[in-house]
Amino acid sequence: MSRWLSRLVAAISGFAMFFSAWSMSYVYNENGRLASGLRYLETGDFSSFHVNPPLVSLVGAIPAAVGGASCPTRVELGIANFARDEYRAGRLFLTKNPNHRIFLFFGRLCCIVLVLVGLWTTFRFAAASYGAVSGFIFLLLGAFSPYTLGYGALIVPDVSAAFLGAASVFFFWRWLRSPEVDAAFLAGCALGLAELTKFTLLIFYPLFVVMWAIYRIPHRSSDAELKRQSPLRRQALQLCMIFGLSLILINVGYAFEGTGKQLRTFKFQTTLFTGYKKLTDVPAAGDNRFSEKGNIVEKTLGLLPTPLPANFVQGIDTQRLDFERGLPSYCRGTWSDHGWLWYYLYAFLVKIPVGTLLLFLLAVFCSLALTGYNLPWRDEMVILLPGLVLLAFVSSQTGFSLHSRYALPALPFFFLWTSKVGRAFRNVRRRDPNESGKRLERPQGYRTVRVLTIVLTAWSTLSVLSVYPNSISYFNELAAVIPTSGTERPTIPRVQKSHRLSSWYKTLVSAGPINGPRHLLDSNIDWGQDFFKLERWSQKRPEIKMINVAYQGSYPLELSKMPVQQFWGGAPKPGWYAVSVNCLYSREGEYRYLLDCEPVDMVGYSFYIYHLTKEDVAGINDSVDSFSPP
């Protein structure tokens, strides 16, 4: 029964992502990922999007390569040192391929398969740890997370990295429990695939060493288990085998491009790799602390060949550059030149369903106050420690705070640990495989925990599905009540008053996304995903002869299927306007006067539609200066 239900949940989640993949437009620079993946496959050149590992872009570009899509050439890109050529590559891909939307859709389908493989493997992790019901609870939390339904349908690495990272920990846990060569082989392959999705997961290498050392501590002062394990030396060799296999797989993913290049021959931009105290002191041509300018240790390291591809190493430096120089950041109605240590915790507070948050608190209570829910402490450590370390590591990078999706690799581990509440449903007639064949006993307070688990899981699932397919813009109910320092918010389109239950329900579920801009911006609510919906909205209204659009997406307006022109803010003229949330709340404030105007409609939760008459324009403050494009 649980197997069939689990397959049904995974199938529904996959179908939901399938529909999202069809309906959503290009999110910011998704065309760049698609174009770069095509270059990877056709030329073996990984330089155009080296800021991220290539696996997701490679998978997403397979349909384009099979369909004969035209690939941007190196001459067209003019690839130079330190250039972010993915932006130009994305624009060229759109202009050179009139049927690019078909390639986008089928490329997203390939990425959805990658997400589902990671999701299902992590589901097996939960089932093997806490039991079948816990696995089903994890699947509901993971498959119907707004992050999964939203970002999982795109050619972006965040959700794939999250579940493939959790899957790699699952295979590593299996090796810890039974340190054999075949288990080490699977763990190494899983780790290599995970590292090909996101640089954040590099933290797994030192973390796995720590977890292995901790896992060898005897459980309940019993030496019998350690005697059954392979000797320490053999385990150490197998751990090296895991890391070695993962490095081989990383190099295979890059086609061994630049592998073995001496570390001193690179040109870096960050203070970490150049040795300068200030970023402003780094030469424009770059430098390297491992060259002749370094100390004896750095010079020695510079002579060593790197076991990683050249663009993998260069990508780490390029990505870190953004955090070192800082970027404008927004949270709770406030703009800043840098990020905040608490940003991701706050983002999860307003972006994760309230039912899931309460279920996590229930798991905390069960772990601390009730018996029968916890695994042996070493297994609990394997499940919870990676999530804590990943969240702490990402939070420590305070150069900028814009995207809660950066912390997604930590989320599956908290879902896994939360699923322990499913132990309240276990059958007393069975034996627990994790407790040496001991007869199962119902946990303390299992009746109350059962009821709360069912209610909270249903609440969480219903809350997410109520906002679908606008999953990227999802905010929970707390977003409507938590105060922020910013007092401005868009006026909600006026609707006819109705006492029907459906009207009240729609008002309730939309309260979170509508209030979302007070808390977070950018990819948390408006990533350009609703532009195709805006096209369909416009095509149903022939009275609109021209619509002025202001949005920060990467899809060129000149390729749009609707009569459109760019709106740069400033003093408006009578007519139709579609302004995205990011523009309404921009730091420069060139569109902010529209917050006092009443929109006639919304497209998704990221576009506000205004129809300004002569009277409306006359009523707008005359002091608004015209805004000139950069």
Please give, one letter per residue, the 3-state secondary structure of 59-109.
HHCHHHHHCCCCCCCHHHHCCCCCCCCHHHHHHHHHHHCCCHHHHHHHHHH
| pLDDT over 90 at 229, yes or no | no
CB 82 within 8 A of CB 128: no
Q: What is the pLDDT of residues 431-451, one digit of tens each?
A: 555 555 555 578 999 999 999
Predicted confidence band at 615 (pLDDT cuts at 50, 70, 90)? Answer: confident
- Note every long-range contact of 168-175, with CB atoms under 8 Å and residues 24 or more positions apart, other chains counting: 168/193, 168/194, 168/201, 168/204, 169/125, 169/204, 169/382, 169/386, 169/413, 170/121, 170/122, 170/124, 170/125, 170/128, 172/208, 172/211, 172/242, 172/382, 173/125, 173/379, 173/382, 175/238, 175/242
Report the pLDDT value the prediction gives residue 624, as an integer from 0 to 100: 57
Tell me the percentage of the chain whose pLDDT exceeds 70.
Answer: 90
User: Measuring CA to CA, how many Å separate 518 from each of 525, 582, 610?
Assistant: 11, 11, 20
Helix axes 377-396, 158-177, angle to 10 degrees: 150
| pLDDT over 60 at 224, yes or no | no
| Strand pairing report for 575-580 and 564-566 | unpaired
| pLDDT over 60 at 226, yes or no | no
Report the pLDDT value the prediction gives residue 623, as an integer from 0 to 100: 45
3-class SS letters over 434-453:
HHCCCECCCCCCHHHHHHHH
Sequence letter at residue 378: R
Predicted confidence band at 628 (pLDDT cuts at 50, 70, 90)? Answer: very low
Q: Assign residue 511 a region (left: φ > 0; alpha: ψ between -120 and 50; beta: otherwise).
A: alpha
10 Å Cβ neighbour count for 42? 15
Predicted confidence band at 263 (pLDDT cuts at 50, 70, 90)? Answer: very high
The DSSP element (H or E) to which 497 belongs, if any, is none
Strand ranges across the sheet with 575-580:
564-566, 547-550, 575-580, 607-612, 601-603
Report the pLDDT value the prediction gives residue 626, as an integer from 0 to 100: 44
Say whether the peptide bond before residue 469 is cis (omega within 30 degrees of 0). Answer: yes
Sequence letter at residue 119: L
- Mean pLDDT for the chain? 89
611: CB partners within 8 A, 6+ apart: 575, 576, 577, 600
Does residue 153 or residue 492 have the better pLDDT?
Answer: 153
Q: Which SS3 state, helix, strand or coil, does residue 602 take?
A: strand
Q: What is the pLDDT of residues 480-507, one digit of tens each?
A: 999 988 655 655 555 444 456 655 666 7
Burial of 114 (0-12, 13-18, 19+ CB in 10 A): buried
| pLDDT over 80 at 429, yes or no | no
CB 348 within 8 A of CB 401: no
* Count, residues in the chain: 630
| pLDDT over 80 at 625, yes or no | no
Ranges of each domain in the chain: 2-253+332-447, 263-331, 530-619
10 Å Cβ neighbour count for 361? 12
Beta-sheet strands, E only, within 434-553: 547-550
Q: Which two tokens stand for residue 342?
A: 């608490």
**pTM for the model:** 0.92
Q: What angle do CA 70, 73, 75 make, to 5 degrees?
A: 150
